[in-house]
């Protein structure tokens, strides 16, 4: 009888130890740390850029663009209508045209925001994509940052420009960000409406 009790006690202790080990493994799997960004400095600039784009802060966009892009924005012919005929001083005086839009969308938390780093090493360019819902209306934003010297600057605030894309279409890149599985993609936030069904 004593041998049976000892055997049962050992078996019970073994089972408890095994169960504890198994639940520890499960916890480790669910607490996976998000992958590290290959361009954290660009991501910081991107956050401010997204706020400027949603709030229509054209002064910020102007002041934080690459030299070539800034020049193209102010060009009288084929320039950007938000910049042509204006000066940086005029834009600064106007301030953001739709202030608070960024904060409102962030507070509602129903948005998708991610980046594509596939051109970072070859062209020093990172693409960002945002899709959010504000007052029942969908807002899509795509912009790019390019490294100029040691700083990340805006190289497109309302579209992804350039032939460096290796024949990848806007739709393909947005799809990769939306899926969030590609090694060159990071998804910073995925709201309820953007979760895969």
Longest dimension (CA), the chain: 98
Q: According to the model, what pLDDT value does residue 137 have?
A: 84
Q: Residue 8: is it exposed, middle or buried by C-beta count within 10 angstroms (0-12/13-18/19+)?
A: exposed
Cα–Cα nearest to 47, from 140, 115, 149, 100: 115
Is there a contact between 66 and 153 (Cβ–Cβ < 8 Å)?
yes
Rg (C-alpha) for the chain, rounded Å, is 24
Question: Which residues, 6 or more positions from 52, have their beta carbon under 8 angstroms from its beta carbon?
Answer: 58, 60, 61, 64, 96, 157
pLDDT category of residue 95 using cuts at 50, 70 and 90:
very high
User: Could you give the 3-state DSSP secondary structure of residue 188?
Assistant: strand
Task: Measure the CA–CA gap between 131 and 113, rounded to whole angstroms.
Answer: 7
Give the pLDDT confidence of 110-124 residue by residue, as tens digits: 999 999 999 898 889
- Each domain of the chain, given as residue ranges in start order, spans 40-194
Give the pLDDT confidence of 141-196 residue by residue, as tens digits: 999 999 999 999 999 998 887 766 667 888 999 999 999 999 999 999 999 888 86
Q: Token pair for residue 95? A: 């301030």
Task: Measure the CA–CA gap between 188 and 6, rounded to whole angstroms.
Answer: 54
pTM for the whole thing? 0.79
pLDDT category of residue 50 using cuts at 50, 70 and 90:
very high
Cα–Cα nearest to 130, from 173, 167, 169: 173
């Amino acid at each position: 009888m004593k041998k049976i009790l000892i055997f049962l006690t050992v078996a019970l202790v073994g089972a408890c130890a095994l169960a504890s080990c198994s639940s520890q493994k499960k916890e480790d799997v669910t607490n996976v740390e998000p992958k590290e960004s290959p361009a954290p400095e660009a991501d910081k600039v991107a956050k401010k850029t997204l706020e400027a784009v949603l709030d229509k802060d054209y002064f910020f966009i102007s002041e934080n663009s690459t030299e070539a892009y800034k020049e193209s924005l102010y060009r009288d012919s084929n320039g950007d209508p938000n910049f042509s005929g204006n000066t940086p001083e005029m834009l600064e005086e106007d301030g953001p045209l739709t202030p608070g839009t960024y904060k409102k969308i962030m507070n509602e938390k129903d948005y998708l925001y991610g980046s594509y780093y596939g051109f970072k090493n070859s062209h020093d360019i990172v693409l960002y994509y945002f899709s959010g819902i504000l007052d029942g209306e969908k807002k899509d934003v795509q912009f790019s940052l390019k490294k100029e010297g040691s700083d990340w600057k805006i190289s497109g605030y309302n579209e992804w420009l350039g032939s460096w894309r290796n024949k990848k279409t806007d739709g393909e890149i947005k799809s990769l960000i939306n899926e969030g599985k590609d090694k060159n993609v990071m998804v910073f936030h995925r709201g309820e409406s953007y979760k895969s069904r």
